[in-house]
Amino acid sequence: MAERIVRIGLAGFGTVGSGVAKLIIEDADSIAAKTGLRLELACVVDIDTTSSRPIKLPEGLLTDDMSKLLSDDTIQIGVEMIGGTDAARQVQLKMLEAGKDVVTANKALLAEHGNELYRAAHQNNRCIAFEASCAGGIPIVSAIRTGLAANNITSIYGIVNGTCNYILSNMTSKNQDFAEALAKSQEKGYAEADPTLDISGGDSAHKLAILASIAFGYEISLDDIFVEGIEGISKDDIRYGGEMGYCLKLLAIGQKDSQNRISLRVHPSFIATDSSLARVEGPFNAVSIFGDAVGQVMFYGRGAGMMPTASAVVADIIDVALGNSATSFGHSNLRPRSETAPLIEKIDNLVSRSYIRIMCRDHAGVVAQWSRVLADHDVSISGAIQHEDTGPDNTVPVVIATHPARQQNVAAALQDMEKLDVIGAKPVCIRIVDIPEDKD
Amino acid sequence: MAERIVRIGLAGFGTVGSGVAKLIIEDADSIAAKTGLRLELACVVDIDTTSSRPIKLPEGLLTDDMSKLLSDDTIQIGVEMIGGTDAARQVQLKMLEAGKDVVTANKALLAEHGNELYRAAHQNNRCIAFEASCAGGIPIVSAIRTGLAANNITSIYGIVNGTCNYILSNMTSKNQDFAEALAKSQEKGYAEADPTLDISGGDSAHKLAILASIAFGYEISLDDIFVEGIEGISKDDIRYGGEMGYCLKLLAIGQKDSQNRISLRVHPSFIATDSSLARVEGPFNAVSIFGDAVGQVMFYGRGAGMMPTASAVVADIIDVALGNSATSFGHSNLRPRSETAPLIEKIDNLVSRSYIRIMCRDHAGVVAQWSRVLADHDVSISGAIQHEDTGPDNTVPVVIATHPARQQNVAAALQDMEKLDVIGAKPVCIRIVDIPEDKD
């Protein structure tokens, strides 16, 4: 079979960009043998043309002049590895206008401006491939689009931020507190110097926006996603939850109910210790998907890192070059945001179980008081433990697990509990998520 | 977007065939909305045209005349759900000659005659799609071909037979012996009345042949795969192995070493209790793949059943109709079997750890005798437990875990041990597989 040359312009020569260049240069022969495509790096654009990188480029390839990439008509595919949402958005739009297909790992950009970019791609009869934007090396985008295409997908539960999972794993297994676990994850290079986007849940929300849009078929906006981060988590709650049989994970959850109402949320979640996702440790990612035909499928692997992410980027380059991405992209119709507006379920209406910790003064009648508040708001108790540990002001921790209750009611109950004299601090509330394990 | 009609001829209206018909008929609208393709069942061929099935076909669709399917030029895709290797092979060849793309779940046929069928497809400029042939609803074929295309895949470890996993899970968690667990799995409908193909490891070998051929890029024949089934497994060994930290699974293993030697084997395997695959329970399947860029990825889900398998078949129908399967199929070059002949590593040369159980007469000097035999064959001991249970003829079980040793040496040591007067029965040997967990 004759080889076909595929010329690639790479914009952004940071960590993942270097990994992409490395794979294209070092694995060109094996990729050609497998696919018949000879990948060729035509140019690499970065404002920094002097720092040393883990891959040495052939002479003359590295430039700080984006117009070299844009004006080179032999370049079929533009790979945007710049990151951020401003310059990257302009670059993607210009690549599309210049007639190039785009490959990107930029989840923030797609979550915030994806709908605009997808439209620009359709108008220019080009495609955008973004396997690497979600869960790094795990081929989850193509699994949803292609492998599960015959399913009505009813829910997605994902651990899609390796930094948060690393922090929570260490808080759980090594009894570290949040600040210590965060520092460790920075030492390891999993967390950025400014870790806000990860620990706030923002990065997980970006990925959920992308995954949910292709799974449910709607344009989804970040505003549709309820987001709570892991910054406030105390190792005591991880321990108390553990005693009740739960493990704490930052989950990205997308659900569609029988009336096609979609709910989207990212928050710390207590899940059963023996569930599949509970066993995902350290910086790993995993996504469980439920489809009406397939039941539960789960995908597991490294959600970040130079080479795992580059693996997904180059897979996309191959798929674009074969013409498959264009077909999938052309046929994946996201229904406009306006059509789904009335469908999106706000968090207040969500029915969920909760873990609640209150710090009670050790008086007679305390249980009667807090249990009355919960009952008044129609929040039913499924389990409770009064621990003998002592907190500040001679308080003791009382840990309560609730039956499913409207989140609006739970919020109101928490407010009322905080007003009780017998309660010494703001109650802690963490949702319990019962992932419907497909078993028999 | 205008819908495109895709006419499908279904050959075989058994369990999976019925599931495929059900999905095509009941989900036609949602698939059209998602993909722009209107799937239309043009005819269903089965020798049995009278039994009742879980889906009611429109009048006139069901026939026992295969020529109706073959001669209908409006049919673009032939779905072969007949099973077996004789009639099915003829039907696939005729479908290809009639200019139809083929979708199939027939692992036995592909493992035995795949190379012939793939060549026939290439000659007719058609494709064969077979996502459903391996691991049911898990999109593992497309993950290897597309999502991991940028990787040099170095190994595959799969639990790919749900019946065996259900039996071993029950033997482990419910202390059932093999016959009882097999009977339970027949009651549940997981095992056939004649369970030979499953419990002998043959079905797993079929799937390994398919997965290894696309992962490693060679035509692979069933003869290249060493196969041992689970028929001889005793629940005592599962228990003793458990005490040493191992869990018993029937694994399908494909490995490529640094000299590109491939080894392929299916056998009962003790794996570490805390490894990802150890947690795969009941009738579920999971496949762990290691790639040089991506590290470890794992895919989990239902490996069989009417709707999970139909999910994969209809995903393939969509992929074929979009033209993507043809591109992937056309570009996936399997190097001829002759080129890989010298590369395939025979089981005798394999280096593996082993679990060995011997039944020793309770005499002085016994340990010296069996340990001498192992030493003479260069098999080094990593752990040993003499249990106080008593076996037949006043023997006691001694359980030995070895360091990695050539399988030829282990086999010779077992033969010599059997000749010892102090040993009361044929030694039991089960390989210990250390799956290199990707961690940090």
> Do A385 and A296 share a domain, yes or no?
no
A364: domain CATH number? 3.30.70.260
Mean pLDDT of chain B: 94
Q: Is the model's pLDDT at B341 over the cut of 90?
A: no
Sequence letter at residue B316 = D
> Domain span at residue B384?
348-432
Query: Would an 8 Å CB–CB cutoff place B32 in contact with chain A?
Result: no
CB contact (8 A) between residue B308 and residue A298: no
Query: Would an 8 Å CB–CB cutoff place A148 in contact with chain B?
Result: yes
Q: Is the model's pLDDT at A297 over the cut of 90?
A: yes
From chain A, the residues in CB contact with B281 under 8 A are: 439
CB contact (8 A) between residue A295 and residue B302: yes
From chain B, the residues in CB contact with A281 under 8 A are: 439
Number of residues assigned to chain B: 440
> Do A340 and A356 share a domain, yes or no?
no
Contacts of B38 (CB under 8 A, 6+ apart): B3, B4, B5, B6, B28, B31, B32
Mean pLDDT of chain A: 94
pTM, 2 dp = 0.95
> Do A187 and A88 share a domain, yes or no?
no
In Å, what is the CA distance from B129 to each residue of A216, A415, B144, B326? 26, 58, 14, 9
Q: Is the model's pLDDT at A413 over the cut of 90?
A: yes
Is the residue at A233 inside a domain?
A: yes
Minimum mean pLDDT range among A245-254, A420-429, B69-78, B313-322: A420-429
pLDDT at position A311 is 97
Q: Which residue in A297, A302, A306, A318 has the most chain B C-beta atoms within 10 A of its own C-beta, making it the best mutation to test that interface?
A: A297
Q: Is the model's pLDDT at A12 over the cut of 90?
A: yes
Q: How far is A390 from chain B (nearest CA, A)?
A: 35
pLDDT at position B327 is 87
> Do B160 and B236 share a domain, yes or no?
yes
A161: domain CATH number? 3.30.360.10
In chain B, what percentage of residues exceed pLDDT 90?
A: 85
Is the residue at A329 inside a domain?
A: no
pLDDT tens column, B249-275: 999 999 998 888 899 999 999 999 999
> Do A188 and A295 share a domain, yes or no?
yes
CB contact (8 A) between residue A150 and residue B324: no
Q: Pick the catalytic residue: A22, A94, A107, A207?
A: A207
Look at the alpha carbons of A398, A399, A401, A402 in this order and tell me if their dihedral is positive or negative.
Answer: positive
Is the residue at B328 inside a domain?
A: no
Structural domain ending residue among the three candidates A129, A154, A187:
A129
Query: Would an 8 Å CB–CB cutoff place B139 in contact with chain A?
Result: yes
- Which strands make up the sheet holding A101-104, listed edge to edge? A62-63, A37-45, A4-11, A77-80, A101-104, A128-129
For residues B378-383, give the mean pLDDT.
96
* Whether the Cβ atoms of residue B262 and residue B343 lie closer than 8 Å to each other: yes
Query: Would an 8 Å CB–CB cutoff place B29 in contact with chain A?
Result: no
Distance from C-alpha of A426 to C-alpha of A52, rounded to nearest angstrom? 51
Query: Would an 8 Å CB–CB cutoff place B49 in contact with chain A?
Result: no
DSSP helix/strand/coil, B111 = helix
Q: How far is B287 from chain A (nearest CA, A)?
A: 10
pLDDT tens column, B342-372: 778 899 999 999 999 999 988 888 899 999 9
> Do A263 and A152 share a domain, yes or no?
yes
Distance from C-alpha of B179 to C-alpha of B185, rounded to nearest angstrom? 10
Q: Is the model's pLDDT at B440 over the cut of 70?
A: no
Distance from C-alpha of A12 to C-alpha of B8, rounded to nearest angstrom? 46
> Do B259 and B208 share a domain, yes or no?
yes
Is the residue at A321 inside a domain?
A: no
**Tokens linked to B268:** 């009962």
Is the residue at B311 inside a domain?
A: no
Structural domain ending residue among the three candidates B322, B345, B368:
B345
pLDDT at position A75 is 98
Cβ count near B367 (within 10 Å)? 14
* Whether the Cβ atoms of residue A362 and residue A394 lie closer than 8 Å to each other: yes
> Do A340 and A225 share a domain, yes or no?
yes
Across the interface, of B149, B296, B328, the residue whose CB is closest to A301 is B296
Query: Would an 8 Å CB–CB cutoff place B439 in contact with chain A?
Result: yes
Query: Would you tell me which residues 351-390 of chain B have a C-beta closer than 8 angstroms to some C-beta of chain A?
Result: none
Q: Which residue of B has its CA nearest to A143?
A: B139
Is the residue at B278 inside a domain?
A: yes
Q: Where are the alpha helices (DSSP H) in B36-85?
A: 66-71
Is the residue at A413 inside a domain?
A: yes
pLDDT tens column, A121-152: 999 999 999 999 999 999 999 999 999 999 99
From chain A, the residues in CB contact with B298 under 8 A are: 298-301
From chain B, the residues in CB contact with A301 under 8 A are: 294-298
Q: Is the model's pLDDT at B211 over the cut of 80?
A: yes
**Interior CA angle at A246 toward A240 and A248, to 5°?**
85
Q: Which residue in A311, A316, A327 has the most chain B C-beta atoms within 10 A of its own C-beta, making it the best mutation to test that interface?
A: A311
> Do B403 and B259 share a domain, yes or no?
no
CB contact (8 A) between residue A302 and residue B294: yes
From chain B, the residues in CB contact with A149 under 8 A are: 31, 34-35, 314-315, 318-319
Q: Active site includes A207?
A: yes
Query: Would an 8 Å CB–CB cutoff place B311 in contact with chain A?
Result: yes
B52: domain CATH number? 3.40.50.720
- Which carries the bigger pLDDT value, residue B58 or residue A260? B58
For residues A233-255, give the mean pLDDT.
97
CB contact (8 A) between residue A31 and residue B149: yes
Distance from C-alpha of A139 to C-alpha of A146, rounded to nearest angstrom? 11
Q: How far is B48 from chain A (nearest CA, A)?
A: 25
**Chain CA centroid to CA A165, Å:** 11
pLDDT at position B1 is 58
Across the interface, of B27, B142, B300, the residue whose CB is closest to A276 is B300
Q: Pick the catalytic residue: B22, B207, B235, B256?
A: B207
**Tokens linked to A211:** 């995954």
CB contact (8 A) between residue B314 and residue A137: no
* Whether the Cβ atoms of residue A220 and residue A337 lie closer than 8 Å to each other: yes
* Tokens 């084997």 found at: B265
Q: How many CA atoms lie within 13 A of A63 on its CB side?
A: 13
pLDDT at position A1 is 58
> Do B147 and B266 share a domain, yes or no?
yes
> Do A123 and A144 share a domain, yes or no?
no
In chain A, what percentage of residues exceed pLDDT 70?
A: 100
Split into its structural domains, chain B has a count of: 3
**Tokens linked to B158:** 């799969």
> Do B392 and B253 share a domain, yes or no?
no
Across the interface, of A31, A292, A294, the residue whose CB is closest to B301 is A294
Across the interface, of A27, A37, A146, the residue whose CB is closest to B319 is A146
pLDDT at position A259 is 85
Contacts of B211 (CB under 8 A, 6+ apart): B134, B140, B141, B144, B156, B158, B160, B252, B254, B287
Q: What is the band of B117 on the pLDDT scale with cuts at 50, 70, 90?
A: very high
Structural domain ending residue among the three candidates B107, B129, B151:
B129
Interface ipTM above 0.90? yes
Q: Is the model's pLDDT at B340 over the cut of 80?
A: no
Query: Would you tell me which residues 173-232 of chain B have a C-beta closer than 8 angstroms to some C-beta of chain A?
Result: 188, 217
**Tokens linked to B275:** 């490894």
Is the residue at B325 inside a domain?
A: no
> Which of A138, A88, A105 lies closest to A16 in space, CA to CA?
A105
pLDDT at position A414 is 97
pLDDT tens column, A48-74: 999 999 999 999 999 999 999 999 999
Across the interface, of B35, B276, B310, the residue whose CB is closest to A293 is B310
Q: Is the model's pLDDT at A390 over the cut of 80?
A: no
* Whether the Cβ atoms of residue B271 and residue B280 lie closer than 8 Å to each other: no
Q: Is the model's pLDDT at B157 over the cut of 90?
A: yes
CB contact (8 A) between residue A302 and residue B308: no
Q: Is the model's pLDDT at A440 over the cut of 80?
A: no
Distance from C-alpha of B439 to C-alpha of B343, rounded to nearest angstrom? 30
**Tokens linked to B3:** 């819908």
Q: Is the model's pLDDT at B332 over the cut of 80?
A: no
Distance from C-alpha of B284 to C-alpha of B190, rounded to nearest angstrom? 11
* Whether the Cβ atoms of residue A229 and residue A199 lie closer than 8 Å to each other: yes
Across the interface, of A217, A295, A317, the residue whose CB is closest to B301 is A295
